[in-house]
Amino acid sequence: MISAPDCQRINETLRERNTELEREVKILREELALLRQHMFVDPQAYVEDVLTRISTTPARRIRDLTPWGWAAARAAEPQPAS
């Protein structure tokens, strides 16, 4: 059985870790907002595409998966005629 002091320490540790995770999520959201604002990249499309391609992309082409490399590659693709 877990003692009361142990339970308290566990709860404190969980609260601290939760706070850390909340900070990390906030930072990621801010970074995605900056990505959208400054690079005109749709964050959801970028993340989905990178997660799909990362396992098959050779190390020499890893720059293509960075936000700026990804945006440049999308800009170079032929646009469909309207």
Cα 70 from Cα 13, distance rounded (Å): 39
Cα 5 from Cα 25, distance rounded (Å): 30
Cα 30 from Cα 35, distance rounded (Å): 9
Cα 78 from Cα 82, distance rounded (Å): 12
Residues in the chain: 82
Q: Does pTM top 0.85 for this prediction?
A: no
pLDDT in tens, 44-63: 888 899 999 999 999 999 88
As a whole number, mean pLDDT of residues 56-79 equals: 84
Q: Which residues, in sequence order, are CB contacts of 53 under 8 Å at separation 6+?
A: 65
